[in-house]
Amino acid sequence: MAGKHLVVVSFDAMVGEDLDLLREDPVFAELLEKGARVNRIRTVYPSLTYPAHTSMLTGARCGKHGVVNNEPADPGNLKCPWYWFHDPVRIPDIHDAAKQAGLVTASVFWPVTGGHRSIDHLVAEYWAQGPDDTLERAYKRAGTSNELYQDIIRPLESTLSSWDSTVTDDAKVQIACEMIRRYRPNLLTVHLGQIDSLRHKYGIFNDKVAAGVLKSGAFMGRIMQAARDAGTFADTDFVVCSDHGQINYTRRMNLNALFVGQGLTDTSWRVWAKTANFSAQVYLSDPKDKALEEQVSRFLHRCCEEGDKGIGRVLDAKQARDDYGLYGDFSFVIESDGSTLFLSDWKEPLFSPAKCEPGYQRASHGHDPSTGPQPVFVGCGPHFRRGVLLSRADIIDEAPTYARILGVKLPQAEGRPMTALLEKT
Protein backbone atom coordinates (compact mmCIF):
# COMPACT_ATOMS: atom_id res chain seq x y z
CA MET A 1 0.00 0.00 0.00
CA ALA A 2 2.88 2.39 0.71
CA GLY A 3 3.55 2.67 -3.05
CA LYS A 4 -0.02 3.75 -3.85
CA HIS A 5 -0.90 7.41 -4.22
CA LEU A 6 -4.32 8.94 -4.77
CA VAL A 7 -4.94 12.64 -5.46
CA VAL A 8 -8.59 13.74 -5.41
CA VAL A 9 -9.28 17.24 -6.71
CA SER A 10 -12.81 18.59 -6.27
CA PHE A 11 -13.69 21.48 -8.57
CA ASP A 12 -16.72 22.84 -6.74
CA ALA A 13 -19.78 23.11 -9.06
CA MET A 14 -18.00 21.74 -12.14
CA VAL A 15 -20.53 19.93 -14.36
CA GLY A 16 -20.48 17.59 -17.33
CA GLU A 17 -20.87 20.42 -19.82
CA ASP A 18 -17.61 21.89 -18.52
CA LEU A 19 -15.73 18.76 -19.58
CA ASP A 20 -16.87 19.40 -23.15
CA LEU A 21 -15.21 22.80 -22.90
CA LEU A 22 -12.07 21.28 -21.36
CA ARG A 23 -11.56 18.69 -24.09
CA GLU A 24 -9.38 21.22 -25.90
CA ASP A 25 -7.17 21.67 -22.83
CA PRO A 26 -4.11 19.40 -23.15
CA VAL A 27 -4.17 18.25 -19.52
CA PHE A 28 -7.86 17.38 -19.52
CA ALA A 29 -7.60 15.90 -23.01
CA GLU A 30 -5.06 13.44 -21.58
CA LEU A 31 -7.16 12.70 -18.50
CA LEU A 32 -10.26 12.05 -20.60
CA GLU A 33 -8.42 9.98 -23.21
CA LYS A 34 -6.41 7.80 -20.82
CA GLY A 35 -8.85 7.68 -17.92
CA ALA A 36 -12.31 6.50 -16.98
CA ARG A 37 -15.37 8.68 -16.55
CA VAL A 38 -18.89 8.68 -15.13
CA ASN A 39 -21.37 10.44 -17.39
CA ARG A 40 -23.79 11.53 -14.63
CA ILE A 41 -23.02 11.62 -10.91
CA ARG A 42 -26.04 11.93 -8.63
CA THR A 43 -25.20 14.04 -5.62
CA VAL A 44 -26.90 14.12 -2.21
CA TYR A 45 -29.87 16.15 -1.01
CA PRO A 46 -29.52 18.95 -0.23
CA SER A 47 -26.97 19.53 -3.00
CA LEU A 48 -24.81 21.79 -0.85
CA THR A 49 -21.01 21.93 -0.66
CA TYR A 50 -20.49 20.76 2.92
CA PRO A 51 -22.98 17.87 3.00
CA ALA A 52 -21.81 16.71 -0.45
CA HIS A 53 -18.09 16.85 0.35
CA THR A 54 -18.70 14.88 3.53
CA SER A 55 -20.56 12.26 1.47
CA MET A 56 -17.73 12.20 -1.07
CA LEU A 57 -15.32 11.02 1.65
CA THR A 58 -17.61 8.88 3.85
CA GLY A 59 -19.63 7.17 1.13
CA ALA A 60 -22.83 7.92 3.07
CA ARG A 61 -25.84 10.18 2.64
CA CYS A 62 -26.37 13.20 4.82
CA GLY A 63 -28.61 11.65 7.46
CA LYS A 64 -26.06 8.96 8.25
CA HIS A 65 -22.94 11.12 8.36
CA GLY A 66 -24.73 13.97 10.16
CA VAL A 67 -23.89 17.04 8.06
CA VAL A 68 -27.29 18.01 6.62
CA ASN A 69 -26.55 21.64 5.75
CA ASN A 70 -23.60 24.00 5.36
CA GLU A 71 -24.43 25.44 8.78
CA PRO A 72 -26.22 24.23 11.90
CA ALA A 73 -29.81 25.35 12.44
CA ASP A 74 -29.90 28.03 15.12
CA PRO A 75 -33.34 29.72 15.17
CA GLY A 76 -33.11 33.48 14.80
CA ASN A 77 -29.40 33.42 13.90
CA LEU A 78 -28.70 34.50 10.33
CA LYS A 79 -24.90 34.32 10.72
CA CYS A 80 -24.26 30.79 11.95
CA PRO A 81 -20.67 29.56 11.69
CA TRP A 82 -20.32 26.91 9.01
CA TYR A 83 -19.42 23.31 9.76
CA TRP A 84 -15.72 24.15 9.62
CA PHE A 85 -14.70 21.33 11.96
CA HIS A 86 -14.89 17.56 11.57
CA ASP A 87 -16.54 16.84 14.95
CA PRO A 88 -20.15 16.58 13.65
CA VAL A 89 -19.23 13.76 11.23
CA ARG A 90 -20.58 10.58 12.81
CA ILE A 91 -18.82 7.88 10.77
CA PRO A 92 -15.28 7.25 9.49
CA ASP A 93 -14.19 8.71 6.16
CA ILE A 94 -11.50 7.72 3.70
CA HIS A 95 -8.85 9.70 5.61
CA ASP A 96 -9.65 7.70 8.75
CA ALA A 97 -9.43 4.43 6.84
CA ALA A 98 -6.14 5.38 5.17
CA LYS A 99 -4.56 6.57 8.41
CA GLN A 100 -5.62 3.40 10.22
CA ALA A 101 -3.89 1.41 7.49
CA GLY A 102 -0.64 3.28 8.07
CA LEU A 103 -0.85 5.55 5.03
CA VAL A 104 0.19 9.21 4.90
CA THR A 105 -2.77 11.57 4.50
CA ALA A 106 -3.06 15.22 3.47
CA SER A 107 -5.82 17.69 2.64
CA VAL A 108 -6.11 21.24 1.30
CA PHE A 109 -9.32 23.24 1.90
CA TRP A 110 -11.60 20.20 1.90
CA PRO A 111 -14.80 21.17 3.74
CA VAL A 112 -15.58 19.85 7.25
CA THR A 113 -11.99 18.80 7.97
CA GLY A 114 -10.97 21.26 10.69
CA GLY A 115 -9.27 19.35 13.51
CA HIS A 116 -9.46 16.06 11.58
CA ARG A 117 -7.14 13.78 13.58
CA SER A 118 -6.54 11.35 10.71
CA ILE A 119 -5.08 13.96 8.34
CA ASP A 120 -1.32 14.20 8.81
CA HIS A 121 -0.83 17.37 6.76
CA LEU A 122 -3.91 19.55 6.98
CA VAL A 123 -4.98 22.96 5.72
CA ALA A 124 -8.71 22.98 6.37
CA GLU A 125 -11.22 25.25 4.68
CA TYR A 126 -11.25 27.85 7.42
CA TRP A 127 -10.49 31.52 7.86
CA ALA A 128 -9.81 33.99 10.64
CA GLN A 129 -13.12 34.34 12.48
CA GLY A 130 -13.10 38.06 13.16
CA PRO A 131 -10.93 41.18 13.36
CA ASP A 132 -9.21 39.97 16.54
CA ASP A 133 -8.28 36.62 15.00
CA THR A 134 -5.34 35.94 12.66
CA LEU A 135 -4.96 33.47 9.81
CA GLU A 136 -2.10 31.75 11.63
CA ARG A 137 -4.12 31.25 14.82
CA ALA A 138 -7.13 30.10 12.83
CA TYR A 139 -5.23 27.53 10.78
CA LYS A 140 -3.39 26.13 13.77
CA ARG A 141 -6.69 25.93 15.66
CA ALA A 142 -8.03 23.91 12.72
CA GLY A 143 -5.12 21.46 12.73
CA THR A 144 -2.32 22.93 10.60
CA SER A 145 1.10 22.13 12.01
CA ASN A 146 3.54 24.92 12.81
CA GLU A 147 6.04 23.49 10.30
CA LEU A 148 3.48 23.44 7.51
CA TYR A 149 2.33 26.95 8.31
CA GLN A 150 5.80 28.49 8.51
CA ASP A 151 7.30 26.69 5.51
CA ILE A 152 4.42 26.67 3.01
CA ILE A 153 1.54 28.90 4.07
CA ARG A 154 3.18 32.01 5.50
CA PRO A 155 4.37 33.30 2.09
CA LEU A 156 0.75 32.96 0.88
CA GLU A 157 -0.96 34.64 3.85
CA SER A 158 -2.17 37.73 2.03
CA THR A 159 -3.89 35.68 -0.67
CA LEU A 160 -5.37 33.05 1.64
CA SER A 161 -6.92 35.70 3.87
CA SER A 162 -9.54 36.27 1.16
CA TRP A 163 -12.84 34.35 1.27
CA ASP A 164 -13.09 34.64 -2.53
CA SER A 165 -12.10 31.40 -4.27
CA THR A 166 -11.22 33.23 -7.47
CA VAL A 167 -8.45 34.83 -5.41
CA THR A 168 -7.38 31.85 -3.27
CA ASP A 169 -7.48 28.84 -5.62
CA ASP A 170 -4.02 29.47 -7.04
CA ALA A 171 -2.57 29.41 -3.52
CA LYS A 172 -4.46 26.23 -2.65
CA VAL A 173 -2.93 24.52 -5.69
CA GLN A 174 0.51 25.77 -4.66
CA ILE A 175 0.03 24.28 -1.18
CA ALA A 176 -1.10 20.96 -2.68
CA CYS A 177 1.94 20.84 -4.95
CA GLU A 178 4.30 21.53 -2.06
CA MET A 179 2.62 18.80 0.00
CA ILE A 180 3.15 16.30 -2.82
CA ARG A 181 6.82 17.21 -3.19
CA ARG A 182 7.62 17.29 0.54
CA TYR A 183 5.39 14.61 2.05
CA ARG A 184 4.46 12.28 -0.84
CA PRO A 185 1.07 11.52 0.75
CA ASN A 186 -0.73 8.32 -0.15
CA LEU A 187 -3.99 10.25 -0.05
CA LEU A 188 -4.40 13.94 -0.85
CA THR A 189 -7.79 15.67 -1.11
CA VAL A 190 -8.04 19.17 -2.55
CA HIS A 191 -11.06 21.49 -2.88
CA LEU A 192 -11.10 24.40 -5.33
CA GLY A 193 -14.03 26.81 -5.36
CA GLN A 194 -13.79 29.39 -8.12
CA ILE A 195 -16.21 27.75 -10.60
CA ASP A 196 -18.83 27.70 -7.86
CA SER A 197 -18.15 31.35 -7.00
CA LEU A 198 -18.43 32.45 -10.61
CA ARG A 199 -21.67 30.58 -11.17
CA HIS A 200 -23.21 32.09 -8.04
CA LYS A 201 -22.36 35.56 -9.32
CA TYR A 202 -22.94 35.28 -13.07
CA GLY A 203 -25.19 32.25 -13.74
CA ILE A 204 -24.49 28.71 -14.84
CA PHE A 205 -23.15 29.14 -18.41
CA ASN A 206 -21.47 32.28 -19.75
CA ASP A 207 -18.09 33.73 -20.74
CA LYS A 208 -16.99 34.56 -17.19
CA VAL A 209 -17.71 31.02 -15.94
CA ALA A 210 -16.01 29.54 -19.00
CA ALA A 211 -12.84 31.50 -18.25
CA GLY A 212 -12.83 30.06 -14.73
CA VAL A 213 -13.46 26.54 -15.98
CA LEU A 214 -10.50 26.77 -18.36
CA LYS A 215 -8.17 27.51 -15.45
CA SER A 216 -8.84 23.98 -14.20
CA GLY A 217 -6.46 22.54 -16.78
CA ALA A 218 -3.56 24.64 -15.54
CA PHE A 219 -4.35 23.70 -11.93
CA MET A 220 -4.39 19.97 -12.70
CA GLY A 221 -1.24 20.32 -14.79
CA ARG A 222 0.63 21.83 -11.84
CA ILE A 223 -0.57 19.10 -9.48
CA MET A 224 0.44 16.35 -11.90
CA GLN A 225 3.83 17.97 -12.44
CA ALA A 226 4.37 18.01 -8.66
CA ALA A 227 3.85 14.23 -8.65
CA ARG A 228 6.47 13.91 -11.39
CA ASP A 229 8.84 16.06 -9.32
CA ALA A 230 8.21 13.84 -6.29
CA GLY A 231 8.82 10.66 -8.27
CA THR A 232 5.32 9.34 -7.53
CA PHE A 233 3.56 10.07 -10.81
CA ALA A 234 3.62 6.50 -12.15
CA ASP A 235 2.02 5.24 -8.93
CA THR A 236 -0.57 8.02 -8.63
CA ASP A 237 -4.25 7.88 -9.48
CA PHE A 238 -5.70 11.32 -10.19
CA VAL A 239 -9.41 12.01 -9.72
CA VAL A 240 -11.27 15.09 -10.91
CA CYS A 241 -14.68 15.33 -9.26
CA SER A 242 -17.27 17.83 -8.08
CA ASP A 243 -20.02 18.13 -5.52
CA HIS A 244 -23.08 19.55 -7.29
CA GLY A 245 -24.34 21.57 -10.21
CA GLN A 246 -26.21 24.86 -10.06
CA ILE A 247 -29.39 26.34 -11.53
CA ASN A 248 -30.30 29.96 -12.17
CA TYR A 249 -32.80 31.87 -10.05
CA THR A 250 -34.77 35.07 -10.58
CA ARG A 251 -35.90 36.04 -7.07
CA ARG A 252 -35.08 35.58 -3.40
CA MET A 253 -37.52 34.75 -0.62
CA ASN A 254 -37.34 35.46 3.11
CA LEU A 255 -38.80 32.10 3.97
CA ASN A 256 -39.51 32.59 7.67
CA ALA A 257 -41.59 35.65 6.82
CA LEU A 258 -44.18 33.14 5.60
CA PHE A 259 -44.54 31.71 9.10
CA VAL A 260 -44.50 35.10 10.82
CA GLY A 261 -47.21 36.33 8.46
CA GLN A 262 -49.42 33.37 9.37
CA GLY A 263 -48.84 33.73 13.11
CA LEU A 264 -47.08 30.36 13.18
CA THR A 265 -43.97 31.81 14.74
CA ASP A 266 -42.51 34.90 16.39
CA THR A 267 -39.30 35.46 18.32
CA SER A 268 -40.03 32.27 20.27
CA TRP A 269 -39.40 30.45 16.95
CA ARG A 270 -42.06 27.77 17.24
CA VAL A 271 -41.27 27.16 13.57
CA TRP A 272 -37.91 27.82 11.92
CA ALA A 273 -36.93 27.20 8.31
CA LYS A 274 -33.19 26.77 7.75
CA THR A 275 -32.31 27.56 4.18
CA ALA A 276 -30.35 25.20 1.97
CA ASN A 277 -30.64 27.68 -0.92
CA PHE A 278 -33.07 25.88 -3.25
CA SER A 279 -34.47 23.78 -0.41
CA ALA A 280 -34.98 24.25 3.32
CA GLN A 281 -35.33 22.17 6.46
CA VAL A 282 -38.24 23.15 8.70
CA TYR A 283 -37.79 22.72 12.44
CA LEU A 284 -40.44 22.80 15.17
CA SER A 285 -39.55 23.99 18.66
CA ASP A 286 -41.41 20.93 19.95
CA PRO A 287 -41.25 18.13 17.37
CA LYS A 288 -43.73 16.12 19.48
CA ASP A 289 -46.42 18.80 19.16
CA LYS A 290 -48.66 16.98 16.69
CA ALA A 291 -51.15 19.82 16.46
CA LEU A 292 -48.42 22.25 15.43
CA GLU A 293 -46.96 19.70 13.01
CA GLU A 294 -50.35 19.23 11.34
CA GLN A 295 -50.93 22.98 11.17
CA VAL A 296 -47.54 23.57 9.53
CA SER A 297 -48.09 20.67 7.15
CA ARG A 298 -51.43 22.06 5.96
CA PHE A 299 -49.96 25.50 5.51
CA LEU A 300 -46.92 24.31 3.52
CA HIS A 301 -49.01 22.12 1.24
CA ARG A 302 -51.42 25.00 0.64
CA CYS A 303 -48.51 27.26 -0.31
CA CYS A 304 -47.27 24.59 -2.69
CA GLU A 305 -50.69 24.16 -4.29
CA GLU A 306 -51.20 27.90 -4.74
CA GLY A 307 -48.12 27.98 -6.93
CA ASP A 308 -47.01 31.55 -6.22
CA LYS A 309 -45.31 31.13 -2.83
CA GLY A 310 -41.96 29.84 -4.09
CA ILE A 311 -42.53 26.29 -2.85
CA GLY A 312 -42.53 23.46 -5.38
CA ARG A 313 -42.64 20.38 -3.14
CA VAL A 314 -43.17 19.49 0.53
CA LEU A 315 -41.71 16.38 2.15
CA ASP A 316 -42.34 15.19 5.66
CA ALA A 317 -39.49 13.67 7.68
CA LYS A 318 -40.25 10.12 6.57
CA GLN A 319 -40.36 11.04 2.89
CA ALA A 320 -37.04 12.89 3.11
CA ARG A 321 -35.44 9.89 4.78
CA ASP A 322 -36.94 7.30 2.42
CA ASP A 323 -36.30 9.24 -0.79
CA TYR A 324 -32.94 10.87 -0.07
CA GLY A 325 -31.38 9.42 3.07
CA LEU A 326 -31.83 12.88 4.60
CA TYR A 327 -32.84 12.97 8.25
CA GLY A 328 -32.21 14.93 11.42
CA ASP A 329 -34.16 17.01 13.96
CA PHE A 330 -36.29 18.74 11.31
CA SER A 331 -39.94 17.85 10.60
CA PHE A 332 -40.24 18.90 6.94
CA VAL A 333 -38.11 19.56 3.88
CA ILE A 334 -39.36 21.96 1.24
CA GLU A 335 -38.10 22.32 -2.31
CA SER A 336 -38.13 25.59 -4.24
CA ASP A 337 -40.23 26.12 -7.35
CA GLY A 338 -36.94 26.21 -9.29
CA SER A 339 -36.63 29.97 -9.74
CA THR A 340 -36.86 31.12 -6.11
CA LEU A 341 -33.86 31.11 -3.76
CA PHE A 342 -34.73 30.62 -0.09
CA LEU A 343 -33.23 32.81 2.65
CA SER A 344 -33.73 32.21 6.39
CA ASP A 345 -34.69 35.81 7.14
CA TRP A 346 -38.12 36.65 8.63
CA LYS A 347 -38.37 40.29 7.61
CA GLU A 348 -40.52 41.74 4.84
CA PRO A 349 -40.56 41.94 1.91
CA LEU A 350 -41.30 38.29 1.30
CA PHE A 351 -39.80 38.36 -2.21
CA SER A 352 -37.03 40.42 -3.77
CA PRO A 353 -35.44 40.20 -7.22
CA ALA A 354 -32.07 38.58 -7.75
CA LYS A 355 -29.45 41.31 -8.16
CA CYS A 356 -27.50 40.60 -11.33
CA GLU A 357 -24.89 42.35 -13.41
CA PRO A 358 -26.32 43.40 -16.79
CA GLY A 359 -26.34 40.48 -19.20
CA TYR A 360 -25.88 37.83 -16.50
CA GLN A 361 -27.97 35.81 -14.04
CA ARG A 362 -27.53 34.50 -10.52
CA ALA A 363 -27.28 30.78 -9.71
CA SER A 364 -27.15 28.50 -6.71
CA HIS A 365 -27.73 24.93 -5.54
CA GLY A 366 -29.23 22.91 -2.69
CA HIS A 367 -31.91 21.59 -5.04
CA ASP A 368 -33.09 18.05 -5.72
CA PRO A 369 -30.06 16.19 -7.13
CA SER A 370 -31.94 15.04 -10.24
CA THR A 371 -32.38 18.66 -11.37
CA GLY A 372 -30.05 20.64 -13.59
CA PRO A 373 -26.47 20.00 -14.74
CA GLN A 374 -24.72 17.15 -12.95
CA PRO A 375 -21.36 16.79 -11.15
CA VAL A 376 -18.35 15.15 -12.78
CA PHE A 377 -16.06 12.20 -12.03
CA VAL A 378 -12.92 11.39 -14.03
CA GLY A 379 -10.21 9.00 -12.84
CA CYS A 380 -6.84 8.44 -14.49
CA GLY A 381 -3.88 6.38 -13.31
CA PRO A 382 -2.72 2.82 -12.71
CA HIS A 383 -5.99 1.63 -11.13
CA PHE A 384 -8.37 3.14 -13.69
CA ARG A 385 -9.31 1.44 -16.95
CA ARG A 386 -8.60 3.42 -20.07
CA GLY A 387 -11.56 4.78 -22.02
CA VAL A 388 -14.36 3.41 -19.83
CA LEU A 389 -17.55 5.46 -19.61
CA LEU A 390 -20.03 4.58 -16.89
CA SER A 391 -23.48 6.04 -17.55
CA ARG A 392 -24.50 6.74 -13.93
CA ALA A 393 -23.22 6.51 -10.36
CA ASP A 394 -23.95 8.06 -6.98
CA ILE A 395 -21.63 10.48 -5.26
CA ILE A 396 -21.63 8.08 -2.30
CA ASP A 397 -19.85 5.55 -4.56
CA GLU A 398 -16.74 7.71 -4.69
CA ALA A 399 -15.30 6.98 -1.22
CA PRO A 400 -15.73 3.18 -1.60
CA THR A 401 -13.90 3.48 -4.93
CA TYR A 402 -11.03 5.29 -3.21
CA ALA A 403 -11.01 2.60 -0.53
CA ARG A 404 -10.71 -0.09 -3.20
CA ILE A 405 -7.78 1.73 -4.83
CA LEU A 406 -5.95 2.19 -1.51
CA GLY A 407 -6.76 -1.30 -0.24
CA VAL A 408 -8.60 -0.08 2.86
CA LYS A 409 -12.08 -0.62 4.31
CA LEU A 410 -15.07 1.71 4.78
CA PRO A 411 -17.61 -0.58 6.45
CA GLN A 412 -20.15 2.16 7.20
CA ALA A 413 -20.33 3.47 3.65
CA GLU A 414 -23.70 3.21 1.90
CA GLY A 415 -22.21 3.41 -1.59
CA ARG A 416 -20.34 0.77 -3.56
CA PRO A 417 -17.01 0.82 -5.40
CA MET A 418 -17.32 1.76 -9.07
CA THR A 419 -15.57 -1.44 -10.13
CA ALA A 420 -16.48 -0.94 -13.78
CA LEU A 421 -13.97 1.93 -13.82
CA LEU A 422 -11.16 0.00 -12.17
CA GLU A 423 -8.56 -2.44 -13.40
CA LYS A 424 -8.94 -5.91 -11.93
CA THR A 425 -6.53 -6.52 -9.06
Per-residue pLDDT tens over the stretch 343-359? 999 999 999 999 999 99
Which distant-in-sequence residues (6+ apart) come within 8 Å of 386 by Cβ?
A: 33, 34, 35, 36
C-beta atoms surrounding 101 within 10 Å? 16
Q: Examine the pLDDT at 137 and tell me if it is beyond 60.
A: yes
Is residue 55 within 8 A of residue 409, CB to CB? The reply is no
Q: Give CA–CA dist 330/316, Å, rounded.
A: 9
Could you give phi then psi for residue 179, rounded to 5 degrees?
-60, -45
Half-sphere CA count of 360, side-chain side, radius 13 A: 17
Where helices occur in 74-117 by DSSP H, the ranges are 94-100
Q: Give CA–CA dist 421/295, Å, rounded.
A: 49
Q: Examine the pLDDT at 3 and tell me if it is beyond 80.
A: no
Mean of pLDDT values over 166-184: 98
Q: Which helix (H) or strand (E) holds 190?
A: strand 187-192
Query: Does the pTM of the predicted model rise above 0.85?
Result: yes
Closest of 54, 37, 101 to residue 396, by C-alpha: 54
- Distance between start and end Cα atoms, the chain: 13
Distances in Å between the Cα of 122 and the Cα atoms of 53, 157, 162, 216 are 16, 16, 19, 22
Could you give phi then psi for residue 165, rounded to 5 degrees?
-65, -25
**Domain extents for the chain?**
5-247+371-421, 251-353
Q: Give CA–CA dist 385/288, Å, rounded.
A: 52
pLDDT score for 425: 60
Q: Give CA–CA dist 122/149, Å, rounded.
A: 10
Half-sphere CA count of 77, side-chain side, radius 13 A: 9
Q: Examine the pLDDT at 1 and tell me if it is beyond 90.
A: no
Mean of pLDDT values over 48-54: 98
Cis peptide before 349 (omega within 30 of 0): yes
Where helices occur in 113-261 by DSSP H, the ranges are 135-141, 146-148, 157-160, 165-183, 194-202, 207-230, 256-261
pLDDT score for 386: 97
pLDDT score for 424: 78
C-beta atoms surrounding 303 within 10 Å? 17
Instruction: Provide the 3-class DSSP secondary structure of residue 375.
Output: strand
Q: Give CA–CA dist 310/253, Å, rounded.
A: 7
User: What architecture (CATH level 2) is domain 5-247+371-421?
Assistant: 3-Layer(aba) Sandwich (3.40)
User: Fold for domain 251-353?
Assistant: Gyrase A; domain 2 (3.30.1360)
Q: What is the pLDDT of residues 252-301, one digit of tens each?
A: 999 999 999 999 988 889 999 999 999 999 999 999 999 999 999 999 99
Q: Examine the pLDDT at 2 and tell me if it is beyond 80.
A: no
Q: Give CA–CA dist 325/181, Å, rounded.
A: 39
Q: What is the pLDDT of residues 218-266, one digit of tens each?
A: 999 999 999 999 999 999 999 999 999 999 999 999 999 999 999 998 8
Q: What is the pLDDT of residues 305-343, one digit of tens each?
A: 999 999 999 999 999 999 999 999 999 999 999 999 999
